[in-house]
Amino acid sequence: MFILKLLIRNAFRHKLRTALTVVGVAIAIIAFGLLRTLVGVWYMGAERSSATRLVARNAISLIFPLPISYKERISQVQGVKEVSYGNWFGGIYIDEKHFFANYAVEPKTYLDLYPEIVLPPAEKTAFIRDRKGCIVGQKLADRYGWKIGDIITLRGTIFPGQWEFVLRGIYRGAEKSTEERALLFHWDYLNETLRKTAPQRADQVGFYMIGVANPDLAAQVAVEVDAMFKNSLAETMTETERAFHMGFIAMTSAIVVAIQIVSYVVIAIIMIVAANTMAMTARERIAEYATLKTLGFGAFHIAAIVFGESLFIAMTGGLLGVLLTFPGADWIETELSQYFPSFSVSPSTVYLDLLASLMIGAVAGVFPTWRGATIRIAEGLRRIG
Amino acid sequence: MSSGAPPIVVIKDLNKSYRRGTQIIPVLNSITFSIDEGEFLALMGPSGSGKSTLLNLIAGIDKPDSGLVSVGGVDITSLNEAELARWRAANVGFIFQFYNLLPVLTAYENVELPLLLTPLSRRERREHVETALQVVNLTDRMDHYPGQLSGGQQQRVAIARAIVPDPEILVADEPTGDLDKTSAKEILELMERLVHELGKTIIMVTHDPRAAEKAHIVRNLEKGVLNNVHS
């Protein structure tokens, strides 16, 4: 109790110095937390993947299409429960700054395969029935104030032209990580238009989504699908949805590694700053530690006082940082919503933040603790004045 | 002052040197003397003569190269660090030139410090602390922090901290060195009272001849050798 009282009072002895250190640690923890969250967001697509969904795409590259005729053949592979398909549409709303994902999909099968897209039954029916209908996520609808029945116009880039859709439904994600900033419309609408405007591009899909009966069948189904189209004009590459997303992430792995390195560098810098502060503090109090030793207090007591103060300051900054990370993440999610479907701080990030704070306190406190605990009394008592 | 009882401090053939780089600097050379219980001893001598080193050795906060230091019948040179710490806590009260109070603790809390290492209850500790503060006449300042007290008052708090565990001996290193004349006089009178009324043994290092006048015995230390005695 005495040690706790002394270390807390010592911590507030130089209020400005302590406040600056606490703020420094808090800022570092906010930066660390936000960067870790950014890395998490990067992997979010892979994280929310289902183990019972496979993605089949053109083996050469994602930008090459596959014939629509593959659907029936894929459906016949043993273990396949349902097959859907679609195209990345890449349409632009207003201008490039208003980016959001938009896909042309086969609505019924797609919604079956994605139970995490939660749509009121009436809206689901309306969407499936209306060939020019579309659905959007709640966050996207909120962003633009869209209501059911609104006409949404996208300017096609991959598929040129002005494309009009009638908003038939606004979905919510069953999970927090579910993308709520996307627009889905009928692949048939796209295909029928292409038949008129660019017939050579019609009857082709960008990807097949394959639902399997259980995850254990995924590998076998992928092999069989790819074998089926081996040596055809459009060979497939079938992989789990997670592997598909990880493939995208691998393309940007250098950025992810850079972000991770920066997050650790931030912590390392504040460790050095905090260590300097604690070393300064311990140096100033050497005579006090010597006095306590003179009175009979042992090295353990001194170590607890110095190390405890270091941990106390770092954890105070760390907790403040964790608390401020949440509004920081909310702000990013609001202001940069076009780039991040969700920017939620995960529990693992909070644990990492607290662990980082603990490490800052521990590393900063090691040398001063050793110095305070091992100081020779006679030498320490000479450091007065 | 000798009462026929064995001396409380016995020092025999005590040697101490310091190492500075490759150089060995002798500080104390074959010091032999004793201090009786209830004695007020002043150690004088020029700077660097080894007074504080001798005081540290008697108080068990430094170790000699050779020789015997026996306090209250205990050969403290044979004790390890942990044993010495326990021994100091129970048997020695320290009074420093610059008081060495912890600035973040009140006068009460500073005086209570040595008792935190004892099995005394909170209530018992309070009784002891209040008694010690009464002895130094500072009960009305017990909730003040050192920064709110004058130098003389801080030294009285330090004396209360020194006497609170009821040690056998008090060691004082220049206890008036940082005080004005009036405060120094008060502190010396208080130390006299501790000897006369509470029967404490005090060993005081000082440069101040007026402080030394209060002592029963004055020993001069020069170049590591005790060379004369004034009673």
Q: Which ipTM did the prediction report?
A: 0.90
Cβ pair A53, A242 in contact under 8 A: no
Q: What is the tens place of the pLDDT at every residue in B9-21?
A: 999 999 999 888 8
**B3, burial (CB in 10 Å: exposed 0-12, middle 13-18, buried 19+):** exposed
Total number of domains in chain B: 1
Please tell me whether residues A203 and A331 are part of one structural domain: no
B129-155 residues labelled b (16+ CB within 10 A) or e (exposed): bbebbebbebbebbebbbeebebbbbb
Answer whether residue A281 is part of any domain. Answer: yes
Examine the fold and report which residue of A199, A234, A269 is the final residue of a domain before the chain moves on: A234
Query: Which pLDDT does position A384 carry in this prediction?
Result: 53
Shared domain for A86 and A29, answered yes or no, is no
Residue A94 sits in the same domain as residue A213: yes
Do A94 and A199 fall within a single domain? yes
Residue B98 to residue A385, Cβ atoms within 8 A: yes
Identify whether A226 is part of a domain: yes
Q: Is residue A52 part of a domain?
A: no
Residue B10 lies in a domain: no
Chain A nearest-CA distance from B103, in A, is 9
Range(s) of the domain holding residue A289? 2-44+253-381
Q: Are residues A219 and A290 in the same domain?
A: no
User: Looking at chain A, which residue has its C-alpha nearest residue B88?
Assistant: A296
pLDDT, tens digit, for every residue of B68-91?
Answer: 999 999 999 999 988 999 999 999
Asked if the model's pLDDT at residue B3 lies above 60, the reply is no
Q: A243 lies in a domain?
A: no
Question: Does any domain span residue A331?
Answer: yes
Q: Rounded CA gap, B158 and B169, in Å?
A: 15
Look up tokens 């005695």; give the residue: B229
What would the DSSP string read from start to end of B167-215?
Answer: -SEEEEESTTTTS-HHHHHHHHHHHHHHHHHH--EEEEE-S-HHHHHTS
Chain A nearest-CA distance from B192, in A, is 23
pLDDT above 90 covers what percent of chain B?
A: 59
What are φ and ψ of residue B169, in 5° steps?
A: -130, 155
pLDDT at position A385, please? 44
**pLDDT value, residue A207:** 96
In a domain, A270, yes or no: yes
Whether B21 maps to a domain, the answer reads no
Per-residue confidence (pLDDT) for residue B4, from 0 to 100: 66
Could you tell me if A186 and A78 lie in one domain?
yes
Q: In this complex, do B117 and A293 lie within 8 Å of one another by their Cβ atoms?
A: no
Q: Residue B135 maps to which CATH number?
A: 3.40.50.300
Q: How far is the alpha carbon of A382 from chain B, nearest alpha carbon, in Å?
A: 10
Q: Which domain holds residue B164?
A: 36-60+81-230
Cross-chain Cβ contact A377/B56 below 8 Å: yes
> Is it the case that residue B228 has pLDDT exceeding 90?
no
Measured between alpha carbons, how far is B224 from B215 in angstroms, rounded to an integer?
21
Residue B56 counted as domain residue: yes
**Could you tell me if A168 and A317 lie in one domain?**
no
One digit per residue, the tens of pLDDT, for chain A of length 385 reads 888 999 999 888 889 999 999 999 999 999 999 999 988 888 776 677 778 899 999 999 888 999 999 999 999 999 999 999 999 999 999 998 888 899 999 999 999 999 999 999 999 999 999 999 999 999 899 989 999 999 999 999 999 999 999 999 999 998 877 888 899 999 999 999 999 999 999 999 999 999 998 889 999 999 999 999 999 989 999 999 888 888 777 777 888 889 999 999 999 999 898 888 888 888 888 999 999 999 999 899 999 999 999 999 999 999 999 999 999 999 988 887 667 767 889 899 999 999 999 999 999 999 999 998 988 888 888 765 4
Predicted confidence at residue A334, as pLDDT, reads 80
**Residue A204 main-chain phi, psi, to 5 deg:** -130, 145
Q: Is A241 part of any domain?
A: no
Chain mean pLDDT for chain B: 90
Both A373 and A293 in a single domain? Answer: yes
Q: Is residue A337 part of a domain?
A: yes
**The tokens of B177 are what?**
């060195």
B71: which strand partners? B9, B74
pLDDT at B2 over 60: no
Q: Is B71 a member of any domain?
A: no
Q: In whole angstroms, what is the distance from residue A11 CA to residue A15 CA? A: 8
Q: Are residues A124 and A85 in the same domain?
A: yes
Nearest CB among B86, B88, B97 relative to A294 is that of B88
**Domain count within chain A:** 2
Same-domain status, A25 and A76: no
Q: Are residues A75 and A36 part of one domain?
A: no
**Least confident segment among A246-250, B2-6, B147-151:** B2-6
Examine the domain organization and report whether A263 and A223 are in the same domain. no
Contact call for B88 and A6, based on CB within 8 A: no
**Confidence class for position B59, pLDDT limits 50, 70, 90:** very high
Q: Strands of chain B (E only): list them.
A: 9-20, 23-35, 40-44, 66-71, 74-75, 92-95, 169-173, 201-205, 217-222, 225-230
